[in-house]
């Protein structure tokens, strides 16, 4: 009987596409789904070169796969992952490798790793980025788990991942939930860059009344510059998609402005607070989606809380500055997310290699961008770099571009256009480059009202003062 190289549980769009991607690369893959239609239709999609088989039986599925088995779950995060594991468990054996390919919450992964380790089964949490197309033709994949067990997965993952300069956008990241954590922060960065782009669009459209077509051209131009990135590219595409329903103008103008979120951005912020990793731009992006939900209140406030524009900056001037300002903000966002990874790696003992993270984010994923290669080089030069802002080359670029960022932020404020992410990147930059912060006053206040004590900057020790 034919032994299959790999198994996929969950034949929704992601599972099916990844399975077909593996089959394209000559791996034989079995698929399991409780829905008989999904299981049956899989084989119909196969071409002659593909070796694939769909089934609804966990027992048959596990019997098909070469031992030690390598199986990936592509089911929604949360309970479905535990149910899928439970359905497979009776047929699994010591040494088998299970990979959760969803956006699972990293503490859940830690729990599953421990539970399955008791049975000798290796459990991996792996973030997959790139959406449906990525899964089909080359995603960026972020696996974490047992290093030795990764060898069972490596050839398949390296074959199907996106490639940049022939290098696959997948690597073993670290133990336990390292992969899910890296993907979570990837999504936090994704939120902030998306919001940053939205703020640029808002300033131009509402602040200056620039036509959609002209904004579209700006993003198109950016995508052929050092700002080249997947999110800028798709924004240029979105801004030229006509509305087919009305036939009048672009579809974007008819889309409701109440943003939704599945939770990965929120987790990034929540955990950053736990481990004291400052990521103000990502926090601001999460909160902007929250503010967007209060539509009725915003409509009401828009009628009462008026502002008269006193801005003196011309459209031409801002157009020129926006390019440098965007670069400045973008680098500050990645710096925050990557610094969070550095802090988390110590906190959770992941052993992350930031050069490798930058490398696998260069292609396939949603936050892929030309600047990721610069980040890779920065970490290659200094693997222990605590923050990209301390890299000499990037630091110089930021120093040069900060004037534009400051001007643009002032314009946002003058015009009354919200720019939570943009402004927070400038404040972050200014906090990070401040030798002295006013937090001595916070310490004094704490000691004043709560006798919380303080340290002095001129001698060792812990002090308390009777302030009254």
Please give the Cα distance from 411 to 351 (Å, whole number). Answer: 42
Decide if 2 is catalytic: no
Q: Which of 190, 199, 355, 356 is catalytic?
A: 190
Q: Which of 44, 115, 148, 183 is catalytic?
A: 183
Binding-site residue numbers are 103, 129-131, 186-187, 191, 262, 289, 446, 452
Please give the Cα distance from 40 to 52 (Å, whole number). Answer: 11
Q: Which stretch binds ligand 6PG (CB under 6 A): 81-89, 118-126, 261-269, 324-332?
A: 261-269
Binding-site residue numbers for substrate are 103, 129-131, 186-187, 191, 262, 289, 446, 452
Residue 109-148 contact track with ligand 6PG, rule CB under 6 A, x = bound: --------------------xxx-----------------
**In this chain, which of 89, 261, 343, 370 binds ligand 6PG, going by CB under 6 A?**
261
Site residues for ligand 6PG, window 24-63 (CB under 6 A)? Answer: none
Least CB distance from residue 285 to ligand 6PG, whole Å? 10
Site residues for ligand 6PG, window 315-374 (CB under 6 A)? Answer: 365-366
Three-state DSSP class for 228? coil
Helix 315-348 to helix 420-432 angle, to the nearest 10 degrees? 60
Q: Which stretch binds ligand 6PG (CB under 6 A): 12-20, 83-91, 260-268, 427-435?
A: 260-268
Least CB distance from residue 257 to ligand 6PG, whole Å? 15
3-class DSSP string for 243-258: CCCCCCCEHHHHCCCC
Assess contact for 235 and 245: CB atoms under 8 A. Answer: no
Least CB distance from residue 261 to ligand 6PG, whole Å? 4
388 binds ligand 6PG (CB under 6 A): no
CA-nearest of 4, 9, 11, 188 to 100 is 9
Assess contact for 229 and 200: CB atoms under 8 A. Answer: no
Exposed, middle or buried by CB within 10 Å (0-12, 13-18, 19+), for 25? middle
17 binds ligand 6PG (CB under 6 A): no
Dihedral over Cα of 133, 136, 137, 143: its sign: positive
234 binds ligand 6PG (CB under 6 A): no
Give the count of residues interacting with ligand 6PG (CB under 6 A).
12
74 binds ligand 6PG (CB under 6 A): no
Decide if 190 is catalytic: yes
218 binds ligand 6PG (CB under 6 A): no
Helix 280-293 to helix 264-275 angle, to the nearest 10 degrees? 140
Please give the Cα distance from 188 to 336 (Å, whole number). Answer: 10
Please give the Cα distance from 330 to 136 (Å, whole number). Answer: 28
Please give the Cα distance from 216 to 348 (Å, whole number). Answer: 43
Residues 6+ positions from 176 with CB-CB distance below 8 Å: 109, 110, 113, 125, 144, 145, 348, 350
Please give the Cα distance from 239 to 251 (Å, whole number). Answer: 8
Q: Which stretch binds ligand 6PG (CB under 6 A): 63-71, 258-266, 327-335, 339-347?
A: 258-266
Assess contact for 379 and 390: CB atoms under 8 A. Answer: no
Least CB distance from residue 262 to ligand 6PG, whole Å? 4
269 binds ligand 6PG (CB under 6 A): no
Residue 197 or 397: which CB sits closer to ligand 6PG?
197
Assess contact for 343 and 275: CB atoms under 8 A. Answer: yes
Least CB distance from residue 5 to ligand 6PG, whole Å? 25
Least CB distance from residue 176 to ligand 6PG, whole Å? 20
Known catalytic residues?
Answer: 183, 190
Q: What does the binding site for ligand 6PG look like in residue numbers (CB under 6 A)?
A: 103, 129-131, 187, 190, 261-262, 264-265, 365-366
């Amino acid at each position: 009987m034919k032994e299959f190289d790999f198994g996929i549980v969950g034949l929704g769009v992601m599972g099916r596409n990844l399975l077909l991607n593996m089959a394209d690369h000559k791996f034989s893959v079995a698929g399991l789904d409780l829905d008989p239609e999904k299981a049956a239709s899989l084989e119909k999609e196969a071409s002659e070169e593909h070796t694939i088989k769909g089934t609804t039986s966990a027992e048959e599925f596990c019997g098909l796969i070469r031992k030690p088995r390598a199986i990936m779950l592509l089911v929604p995060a949360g309970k479905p992952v535990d149910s899928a594991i439970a359905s497979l468990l009776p047929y699994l054996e010591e040494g088998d490798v299970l990979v959760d390919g969803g956006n699972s919450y990293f503490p859940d992964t830690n729990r599953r790793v421990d539970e399955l380790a008791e049975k000798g089964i290796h459990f991996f949490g792996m973030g997959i980025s790139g959406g449906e197309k990525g899964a089909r033709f080359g995603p960026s994949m972020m696996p974490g788990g047992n290093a030795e067990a990764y060898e069972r997965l490596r050839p398949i993952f390296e074959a199907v991942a996106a490639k940049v300069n022939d290098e696959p956008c997948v690597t073993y990241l670290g133990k336990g939930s390292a992969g899910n954590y890296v993907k979570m922060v990837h999504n936090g960065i994704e939120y902030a860059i998306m919001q940053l782009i939205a703020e640029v669009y808002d300033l131009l459209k509402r602040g200056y009344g620039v036509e959609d077509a002209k904004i579209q051209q700006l993003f198109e131009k950016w995508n052929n510059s050092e700002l080249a990135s997947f999110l800028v590219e798709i924004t240029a595409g979105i801004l030229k998609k006509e509305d087919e329903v009305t036939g009048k103008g672009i579809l974007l103008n008819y889309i409701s402005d109440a943003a939704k979120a599945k939770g990965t951005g929120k987790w990034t912020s929540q955990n950053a607070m736990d481990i004291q990793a400052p990521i103000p731009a990502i926090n601001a992006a999460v909160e902007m989606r929250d503010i967007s939900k209060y539509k009725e209140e915003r409509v009401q406030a828009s009628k009462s809380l008026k502002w008269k524009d006193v801005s003196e900056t011309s459209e031409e001037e801002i157009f020129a500055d926006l390019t440098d300002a965007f670069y400045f903000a973008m680098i500050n966002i990645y710096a925050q997310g990557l610094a969070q990874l550095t802090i988390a790696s110590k906190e959770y003992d992941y052993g992350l290699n930031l050069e490798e993270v930058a490398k696998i984010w260069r292609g396939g994923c949603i936050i892929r961008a030309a600047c990721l290669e610069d980040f890779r080089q920065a970490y290659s030069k200094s693997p222990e770099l605590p923050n990209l802002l301390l890299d000499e080359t990037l630091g110089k670029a930021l120093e040069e571009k900060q004037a534009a960022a400051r001007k643009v932020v002032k314009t946002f404020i003058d015009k009354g256009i919200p720019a939570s992410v943009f402004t927070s990147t400038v404040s972050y930059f200014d906090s990070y480059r401040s030798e002295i912060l006013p937090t001595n006053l916070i310490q004094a206040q704490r000691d004043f009202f709560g006798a919380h004590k303080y340290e002095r900057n001129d001698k060792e020790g812990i002090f308390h003062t009777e302030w009254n």
